[in-house]
Structures are given as C-alpha cells and as structure tokens.
Amino acid sequence: MPKPETTILLVDDHALVRKGFRRMIEDDPELLVAGEASDGHDAVEMAQRLKPAVVVMDFALPSMNGAVATRLILKDAPETKVLILSMHSEPNYVRTCLDAGARGYLLKNALDLELVEAIKKVAGGAQVLDPRLGQMPETTTPALSTRELEVLQLIVHGKSNKEIAMVLGLSANTVAVHRSNIMQTLGIHNTAELVVYSIRNGLASIT
C-alpha cells in the first residue's frame, strides 16, 4: 500500500460532517487526515503545529470564520493550501475567501462533491472553484485587517467589547478602537447595519 503523501487538516464544527469527509479522503491511499478541528482558533493552532499540506475548512465556524482563519494560517505557513467548503454560493463569500488566500472553494451541498480530486489539485498548486459558482466580482469592499475581521466576526455573534476582549486577549479599549475603525472604513454608523452589511458581503458568518 502506498504511503500517504498529502496530509490534510479537516475543519468543521459538526463532528458527523468531519467523519463523512474523513472517510471520503482516506479512501484514497495518497491522502491522510493528520488532524481535525471544530473551530477557527483550533484550526490556526493545529495548522501551525501539524503543517498539513492542505486545510479543508468550512466557511461558517464558531468565533472565527474560514476566511479569517485562512489569513492567519497562511501568515505562519504560506506553503499550506486552503480549500474552503461552504453552503454559501454568493460571489461575495467566495471573493472574501479567495482574497484571504484560499486556493479553492467548493459547495458542501453538492451531491457529486469531488473532494478528493479537489484536494489533489489544490495540493498541486491549482485553483479549484465549484463549477456551480458564477462569475466572481472584483473586490469592492474596503479592506479590513485580519484583526478587524476577527473583531467583526465576534460583533456579528453579538459579543460586547468586553467579551470580544476576553476572546482575543485584548483590552476593551483596543476592541472599541477596532470597532470604531471598522465602522469608519465601511461607512457604517450603527451595529445593526454593520451586522447586515457584514453577512451580506461575506465578511462574517452566523453559525
């Protein structure tokens, strides 16, 4: 039996989904699932530790979405390839992930999901986009930093500045500054508008 050549980190907040994907992946003797994570923070930590060839990651994750996790993973391990699996087919979600550095984007609800083939292509350096996706728009959303996107995700989850500070290891004042900068950059003046805009434009997700 050939020795597995491509290591995979599976990231999804549903254990049954991870189990199903793991079975699909490990049916191929050239692929090996080196680890599993259930949220974005764990994914970043495990990617740094395991150095997988490919991270197969859901977009909608607790506390940190797949796009933000992608940015953080690639910052420390630029050679790692990220393949996003998502229920969202909206172009803005896809563009957000590609802008973050993801090499592929597949729809999770596809009945003929070619996961193994996509992993191999991404591992080889190719870009893989689900054929069901339409034309990708050029980036029109003002750019936010990785930290601002982390803060934004937690705002969308309804966290207060104090709660966000605890999650991210920041001071509440620093979080307040990030919140203010995000609103100024996006030209938005209240939290309700910010949440709607962020979800609509694929900057954050609700899980």
**CATH code of 169's domain:** 1.10.10.10
- Domain of residue 173 covers 146-200
Q: What is the DSSP string of 15-55?
A: HHHHHHHHHHHHTSTTEEEEEEESSHHHHHHHHHHH--SEE
Q: Is residue 207 part of a domain?
A: no
| 57-90 per-position pLDDT tens digit | 999 887 788 999 999 999 888 999 999 999 888 8
Q: What is the pLDDT at residue 91?
A: 84
Q: What is the pLDDT at residue 54?
A: 97
Q: What is the pLDDT at residue 140?
A: 59
DSSP 202: T
| 141-179 per-position pLDDT tens digit | 678 888 898 899 899 888 999 999 998 899 999 999 999
Identify whether residues 125 and 154 lie together within a single domain: no
Please tell me the distance from the alpha carbon of residue 143 to that of residue 78, in angstroms, as a whole number. 20
Identify whether residues 196 and 105 lie together within a single domain: no
Burial of 157-166, coded b for 16+ CB within 10 Å and e otherwise, reads bebebeebbe
Q: What is the pLDDT at residue 6?
A: 93
Identify whether residues 100 and 156 lie together within a single domain: no
Identify whether residues 125 and 164 lie together within a single domain: no
Identify whether residues 17 and 98 lie together within a single domain: yes
Q: What is the pLDDT at residue 31?
A: 94
Paired residues of 56 in beta bridges: 10, 83
